[in-house]
Amino acid sequence: MTSIPPFTPPERLLLGPGPSPVDPRILQAFTRPTLGHLDPQFLEVMDQVRSMLREAFKTKNDITFPVSGTGTAGMECCLVNLIEPGDEVVVLEQGYFGRRMADIAGRAGGKVHKLDAKWGEGFTPGQLETFLEGKKPKVVAFVHAETSTGFRQDVPELVEVARGAGALTVLDCVTSLGGIPLEIDRWGVDAAYSGTQKCLGGPPGLAPVTFSPRALEKIQKRSVKCVSWYLDVSLVTQYWGGPRAYHHTAPINNVYAIHESLRLLLEEGLEARWKRHREAHERFAKGAQEIGLRFVVAEPHRLPQLNAVWLPEGVDDKAGRKRLLEEHGIEIGTGLGDFAGKVWRIGLMGHGARSEVVDRVLAALKKVLGR
């Protein structure tokens, strides 16, 4: 029988679009003894996670918990619970993940209308208002922090327009939760989802979601069952709250990790965490300009935690990233979709949003680019 040695991963500085570097405290929490998924002490941890998530999302929504799965599971959870066959759904598509939302909405039986923007740009309330004329949308879905382009979309005005048309709003917060200002209740967002591996700085595996009372009412009044049994909120919430009925075996150690991620976030303070991400970006932007890198997104809408830069002329995408990885131990991301082979995406998220990390990646980029 072939003997396979234990796997020892190399040390990498993860500065792509996710996962991000994991704080040692979170890694330590992940390795603690596994409890049963209905153990009374684990149920207490679940309650604490829900409470801390409400603070992170800035919401009082009772239906707030982490879905077992990555960010896309959160996306699917929000969409399939709120969309019934034949519902008109408007998706604002400005990048790769807007496209994914539209695909999932269609699979859920929605009649999807897509409002497109050029990659690297976003939408104005006037554009949405004009697009909604003559339509009766039940859901309007869009991305807050588009990971594929580095664009930050203004939220409150779009929510106001959608609500005026009688629609619920679904917001993709995968790359924004914990990294930039996000206020679910004040902005009037009906459903939102995120991931643990971005600005929360944990390992991938859970997707925080939150549903407003308006969204919950829509779910409770569905005329047909949710197309997904596993992601059906009416079932999952019986495990995450209320009677604690068995639904699935939760990824126990991932819950330990998000528990510690949220403890770290709230210890630091939301405003302080947002400020740290902004300062890391400003330090990177100054250095990037000095070596001739150009940002994809104009400054007013640029994400601090996801820096999308045009690939310099004459630089090969794969060869450049390979050198960064093999010679400097740094992983960055390539472009997706319309930006494939044209853009580098450099994440400064969670534990990676620190000045010493910025200085290290800038020094490596200078060598690889010959600057």
13-18+269-369 under CATH 3.90.1150.10, yes or no:
yes
Q: pLDDT, tens digit, for every residue of 259-283?
A: 999 999 999 999 999 999 999 999 9
- Name which of 25, 65, 18 is nearest 265 in CA terms: 25
Q: How confident is the model at residue 37, as a pLDDT?
A: 95
Q: How confident is the model at residue 65, as a pLDDT?
A: 98
Q: How confident is the model at residue 79, as a pLDDT?
A: 98
Q: How confident is the model at residue 2, as a pLDDT?
A: 82
Q: pLDDT, tens digit, for every residue of 347-358?
A: 999 999 999 999
24-266 has the same fold as 13-18+269-369: no
For residues 45 and 36, give the distance between their C-alpha atoms in angstroms, rounded to a whole number: 12
**H or E segment at 139?**
strand 139-143
Query: Which CATH number is 24-266 given?
Result: 3.40.640.10
* Contact call for residues 149 and 97 (beta carbons, < 8 A): no
Task: Name residues of the chain where pLDDT drops below 70.
Answer: 1
Beta strands 88-93; 111-116: pairing state: parallel
Question: What is the domain partition of the chain in residue ranges?
Answer: 13-18+269-369, 24-266
Tokens standing for residue 331? 């992983």
Q: How confident is the model at residue 371, as a pLDDT?
A: 74
